Chain A
Amino acid sequence: NAGVTQTPKFQVLKTGQSMTLQCAQDMNHEYMSWYRQDPGMGLRLIHYSVGAGITDQGEVPNGYNVSRSTTEDFPLRLLSAAPSQTSVYFCASSYSSKQYFGPGTRLTVT
């Protein structure tokens, strides 16, 4: 099992550009989530999904969209990147409260 995979590992965007961060898991977990991690802030929940076709907002959803068309994939879309979205993004899948995190995507918006 590959676990949770994320692509790309690094990305630089200009303000106003859009992009999609990819996340996939092969553990057949129903629950998946996206977090951002900023220095001194811990991880903050952006969006989560309890199963295919179902998504909901977390603590900091503004500027991000998600969709869940399959159990395996949970992409995160930045609609119009802003410097405040410079961060490290982690995708996680979980079963019975055990969360498994991907390796992260480091995003810089200039």
Chain B
Amino acid sequence: TQLLEQSPQFLSIQEGENLTVYCNSSSVFSSLQWYRQEPGEGPVLLVTVVTGGEVKKLKRLTFQFGDARKDSSLHITAAQPGDTGLYLCAGALGGDNYGQNFVFGPGTRLSVLP
């Protein structure tokens, strides 16, 4: 059983469309991170959200942490082929700054077609 669930598992859209992917859990996290991973490479950190209800924007990407700190969403506006990749969420169960208690979701694989 996964501690973190992500949906959808796969998503294929046309360039210019908007999309939202979700990260859900029954556990409360002290912080939550989103990563993007491209084929043959390691994950790259996009954002960390810490406060319940927090919203962060990174260009066309909007990240929201649920009020209860159990879930998060990633919204992409006007998707581009360069957004293609595996999007992973990771939740921190502890309150430390080292990150050793991060658990990862299985990921959403996004394909943006030109």
Contact = CB atoms under 8 A, between A and B. Distances in A.
Question: Main SS of chain A's interface residues?
Answer: strand
A99 B99 contact: yes
A94 B44 contact: no
A42 B48 contact: no
Interface residues on A, range: 20 to 34
A44 B97 contact: no
A42 B2 contact: yes
B79 interface: no
B4 interface: yes
Given A30-B98, A31-B98, A94-B98, A99 B104 contact: no
Interface stretch (A11-19, A67-75, A77-85, A100-108): A100-108
Interface string B39-72: 0111111001000000000000000000000000
Contacts, number: 66
Given A42-B2, A97-B48, A98-B48, A50 B43 contact: no
Interface in B53-102: 88, 90, 92, 97-100, 102
A103 B40 contact: yes
B43 A101 contact: yes
Contacts of A4: 42
B88 A43 contact: yes
A33 interface: yes
Nearest to A106: B40
B111 interface: no
Contacts of B33: 97, 99
B104 A43 contact: yes
Interface string A17-57: 00000000000001101010000111111001010000010
B42 to A, nearest CB: 3
B82 to A, nearest CB: 19
Contacts of B99: 31, 33, 94, 97-99
A4 B45 CA distance: 14
